[in-house]
């Protein structure tokens, strides 16, 4: 286990050190102490390493992550795991707005609640939230999955494309062109796998599925009032 004191050594040294880890590094476990809400912690990683952040983080923790597992033992600020490509990011506490924004791949697990715009413009990432998600979550979501074990706020999935949303609790409102959809056997199978991956103690049968009605995919003036 490598320990890095962020307060003492600074952000540039941290990211430079983590970026220097090759795919074959034997320094696979890292612990970052004294994060104190700093921004851009462990961004742009591209190696199969495990980074444990002992405390809460600021903006963009684990941004553009590839391969690495970043575990935040606290709450996370805005844009956590934004544009993630692969790997896993786990937040033990709550996550602020834009969690997993534009993510292309990998898994983001939020054990508390996620704020507004969770999964905005997501492009393939899987996001599993143990608690609730805020308003406008999955706005313009393109692909990937969001699992919400609690409730979803206003305008879930507004203007979404092919992404899927599974919500166990209530949905305050659905956004433009987002509808409840049939939960077919393949969706149950997928959801069970996501719940297991996210460490969620919930049954797939308790969830409803939401996604795009695909009526706004091509511009039609008769749909103008939908926006």
Answer yes or no whether residue 211 interacts with other proteins by CB under 8 A.
Answer: no
- Distance (Å, rounded) from C-alpha 13 to C-alpha 156? 39
* Total binding residues toward other proteins, as defined by CB under 8 A: 41
- Residues 24-83 contacting other proteins, CB under 8 A: 39-40, 43-44, 46, 58-60, 63-64, 66, 78-79, 82-83
Is the CB of residue 72 less than 8 Å from the CB of residue 89?
Answer: yes
CA–CA distance, 227 with 223 (Å, rounded to integer):
8
For residues 149-208, which are near other proteins according to CB under 8 A? Answer: 159, 161-162
Is there binding between residue 4 and other proteins (CB under 8 A)? no
The CB-of-125 to other proteins minimum distance in angstroms stands at 11
Q: How many CB atoms lie within 10 A of CB 203?
A: 12
Q: How many CB atoms lie under 10 A from the CB of residue 26?
A: 7
Where in 75-134 is the site for other proteins (CB under 8 A)? Answer: 78-79, 82-83, 85, 98, 101-102, 104, 117, 120-121, 123-124
**How far apart are alpha carbons 169 and 31 in whole angstroms?**
35
Applying CB under 8 A, which of residues 7, 9, 16, 206 lies at the interface with other proteins?
16
Q: How far is the CB of 16 from other proteins (least distance, A)?
A: 7
Nearer to other proteins, 118 or 147 (CB): 118
User: Contact 143/122 with Cβ under 8 angstroms?
Assistant: yes
Q: Hey, what are 181's tokens?
A: 């959809």
Contact 112, 95 (CB under 8 A): yes
- Per-residue tokens: 57: 């983080």
| Tokens of residue 46, six digits | 């591209």
| Vertex 149: Cα angle to 59 and 170 (nearest 5) | 105
Which C-beta is closer to other proteins: that of 126 or that of 195? Answer: 126
Supply the minimum distance, in Å, between the C-beta of residue 220 and other proteins.
Answer: 9
- Catalog residues that contact other proteins under the rule CB under 8 A: 11-12, 15-16, 19, 39-40, 43-44, 46, 58-60, 63-64, 66, 78-79, 82-83, 85, 98, 101-102, 104, 117, 120-121, 123-124, 139-140, 142-143, 159, 161-162, 217-219, 221
């Amino acid at each position: 286990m490598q320990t890095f004191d962020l307060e003492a050594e600074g952000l540039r040294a941290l990211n430079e050190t983590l970026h220097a880890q090759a795919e074959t590094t034997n320094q696979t476990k890292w612990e970052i102490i004294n994060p104190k809400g700093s921004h851009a912690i462990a961004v742009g990683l591209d190696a199969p390493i495990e980074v444990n952040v002992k405390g809460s983080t600021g903006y963009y923790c684990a941004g553009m992550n590839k391969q690495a597992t970043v575990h935040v033992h606290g709450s996370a600020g805005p844009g956590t795991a934004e544009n993630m490509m692969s790997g896993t990011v786990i937040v033990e506490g709550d996550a602020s707005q834009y969690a997993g924004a534009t993510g292309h791949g990998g898994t983001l697990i939020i054990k508390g609640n996620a704020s507004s715009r969770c999964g905005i413009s997501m492009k393939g990432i899987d996001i599993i939230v143990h608690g609730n998600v805020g308003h406008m979550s999955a706005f313009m979501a393109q692909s990937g999955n969001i699992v919400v074990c609690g409730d979803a706020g206003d305008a879930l999935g507004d203007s979404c494309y092919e992404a899927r949303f599974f919500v166990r609790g209530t949905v305050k409102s659905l956004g433009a062109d987002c509808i409840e959809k049939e939960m077919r056997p393949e969706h149950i199978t997928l959801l069970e796998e996501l719940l297991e991956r996210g460490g969620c103690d919930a049954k797939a049968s308790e969830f409803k599925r939401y996604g795009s009605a695909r009526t706004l995919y091509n511009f039609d003036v008769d749909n103008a009032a939908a926006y």
